[in-house]
């Protein structure tokens, strides 16, 4: 049945397959997160309330959170709450986890969104530039320098890049704020700190793809027509580079989300990164669980959107990629 639908309505078959994979992936991720947190040794309620908290208060909070039930019952309660949109309550603050996440989600989503956009723009810009300069073995020293610099930037942790950017642009030049999450100026340094490393790695792939694309027959014909460089690269080369860039960009999203946890701490941004680090310190497991679920679900959803964008860019690949 699905094969027939794939031949007659490839977009619908493609969407159904991606929807099924998304649901299965979300179930698997949520289950792993639950057991990862539930099986951590120690008593999270006692750790969160402190050693001097009365036993009656600890027992009351443990009962309210359902932690006094057997693990299978906790798992069923977890899914019942999750399906109703309830992520539970924080052990440390007794506030709904969803409320805390809602207050910080926009800050993190803005940072990651700007970072992924910067990653794609920088990678396409420098990858295409170096690819055009070094096509057919020209300027080998330029290629060597690009490879060395991009490899080095790709291996440096984002928080170290952030510290360097703070020293140069905030402390020395005093052009941008050191920390905070108010206004667009406070977003510049953390976004670049988060995107420079992934952009350097992706630029190497774009450069290699640019070298291949420039050798294709249609590019030779386009150059023979003496088309302006804007048309040559933006109309003919760029669409053929977007597939690889978007594919790798979707895979890099997980790296950017993970990096945002540390980068937000470096720049003292009031996002999910600082929330989960403080929750780990406080052993506030419901909050840790909720933040992990939201971040994992966001990565999965964006990867599905990337698949849809790739299908729009290359319609002929829908059946093959289903």
At 6 the pLDDT is 57
Residue 101 and residue 291 in contact, taking contact as beta carbons nearer than 8 Å = yes
At 313 the pLDDT is 59
**pLDDT greater than 60 at residue 322:** no
Could you give the CA distance from residue 36 to residue 42 in angstroms, rounded to a whole number? 13
pLDDT tens for each residue of 12-24: 777 778 888 888 9
At 214 the pLDDT is 77
Reported confidence tier of residue 4, pLDDT bands at 50, 70, 90? low
Could you give the CA distance from residue 113 to residue 100 in angstroms, rounded to a whole number? 20
**207 versus 305: which is more confidently predicted?**
207
pLDDT, averaged across the chain: 82
Among the listed residues 166, 134, 138, 136, the one whose alpha carbon sits nearest the alpha carbon of residue 150: 134
User: Exposed, middle or buried, 227 (CB in 10 Å: 0-12/13-18/19+)?
Assistant: middle
| Predicted TM-score (pTM) of this structure | 0.81
**pLDDT greater than 70 at residue 317:** no
pLDDT tens for each residue of 57-95: 878 878 877 777 888 888 998 898 888 888 888 887 878
Residue 203 and residue 130 in contact, taking contact as beta carbons nearer than 8 Å = yes
Could you give the CA distance from residue 130 to residue 108 in angstroms, rounded to a whole number? 32
pLDDT tens for each residue of 137-176: 788 888 899 999 999 998 999 989 999 999 999 888 888 8
Compute the average pLDDT of residues 186-198.
Answer: 93
Angle between helices 185-214 and 97-133 (to 10 degrees): 40
**Length, in residues, of the chain:** 322
Phi, psi (degrees; rounded to nearest 5) at 96: -60, 135
Compute the average pLDDT of residues 113-133.
Answer: 89
Reported confidence tier of residue 255, pLDDT bands at 50, 70, 90? confident
Domain residue extents for the chain: 2-83, 105-315
Task: Give the fold, CATH level 3, of 105-315.
Answer: MetI-like fold (1.10.3720)
Compute the average pLDDT of residues 121-136.
Answer: 87
At 319 the pLDDT is 46
Could you give the CA distance from residue 277 to residue 287 in angstroms, rounded to a whole number? 10
């Amino acid at each position: 049945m699905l094969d027939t639908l794939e031949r007659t309505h490839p977009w619908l078959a493609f969407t159904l397959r991606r929807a099924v994979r998304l649901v299965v992936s979300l179930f698997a991720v949520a289950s792993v997160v639950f057991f990862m947190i539930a099986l951590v040794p120690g008593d999270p309620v006692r750790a969160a309330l402190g050693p001097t908290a009365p036993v009656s208060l600890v027992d009351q909070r443990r009962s309210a959170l359902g932690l006094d039930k057997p693990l299978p019952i906790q798992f069923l309660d977890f899914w019942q709450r999750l399906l109703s949109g309830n992520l539970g309550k924080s052990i440390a603050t007794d506030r709904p986890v969803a409320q805390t996440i809602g207050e910080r989600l926009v800050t993190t989503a803005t940072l990651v969104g700007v970072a992924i956009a910067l990653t794609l723009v920088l990678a396409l810009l420098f990858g295409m530039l170096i690819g055009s300069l070094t096509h057919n073995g020209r300027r080998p020293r330029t290629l060597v320098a690009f490879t060395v610099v991009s490899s080095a930037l790709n291996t440096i942790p984002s928080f170290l890049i952030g510290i360097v950017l703070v020293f140069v642009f905030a402390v020395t030049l005093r052009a941008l704020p050191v920390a905070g999450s108010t206004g667009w100026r406070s977003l510049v340094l953390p976004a670049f700190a988060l995107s420079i490393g992934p952009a350097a790695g992706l630029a190497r792939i774009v450069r290699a793809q640019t070298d291949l694309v420039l050798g294709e027959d249609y590019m030779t014909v386009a150059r023979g027509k003496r088309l302006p460089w804007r048309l040559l690269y933006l109309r003919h080369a760029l669409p053929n580079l977007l597939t690889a860039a978007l594919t790798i960009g979707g895979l890099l999203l997980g790296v950017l989300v993970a990096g945002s946890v540390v980068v937000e701490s470096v720049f003292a941004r009031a996002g999910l990164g600082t929330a989960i680090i403080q929750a780990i310190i406080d052993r506030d497991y419901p909050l840790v669980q909720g933040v992990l679920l939201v971040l994992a679900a966001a990565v999965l959803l964006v990867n599905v959107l990337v698949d849809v964008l790739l299908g729009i860019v290359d319609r002929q690949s829908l059946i093959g990629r289903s």
